[in-house]
Structure 1
């Protein structure tokens, strides 16, 4: 296999992970609607291209304040490509990610969204 083919396979694998939500918390297609406010679930946040989006069940969320190092990577102190923590659903349209490192990111649902805004490369 050539080096370029290896890079393409790696990129496709990452894209597949993004498309499936990159979470361990996908409780089914209607997880957000079926999850009462205040419920906290284990969550693996995709951070490879910065902290910008998350999918919980079938609902796509965006960070209220996206985080990046300025070059499309997670900021210092964040794991890459994912950060393990928890997601607390504060309502059907709001969630907060937290982790043991002290990070906290608020997310809001994107009404009508059926995919991520961008696929990380």
Structure 2
């Protein structure tokens, strides 16, 4: 699955308030699922009806947690995305500390 290089204009993970609003707890649920299994991915909402792509916002948030999913690590290894792409995207997304997440130890079990 390809990866988007940057969070889209209304990515739910954006920190500028431009993201689409998800139901309460949904972002925490997504992140918790990604923390539990690094083989999981989160699909960009703008690619659901066509070639599905991994959400750069989700990848960026996971990078802030030091837990890149397998798809992102493969993307880096094969040059689909660069470390600069991940870093630039990380500047555009919310901080993990803003979320009500279980401890990383509990989430990784």
Fold conserved (TM > 0.5)?
no
Higher helix residue share: 2
Task: Determine which structure has greater relative contact order: mean sequence separation of CA pairs < 8 Å that are 6+ residues apart, divided by chain length.
Answer: 2
Structure 1-normalised TM-score? Answer: 0.27
Q: Which has the larger radius of gyration?
A: 1
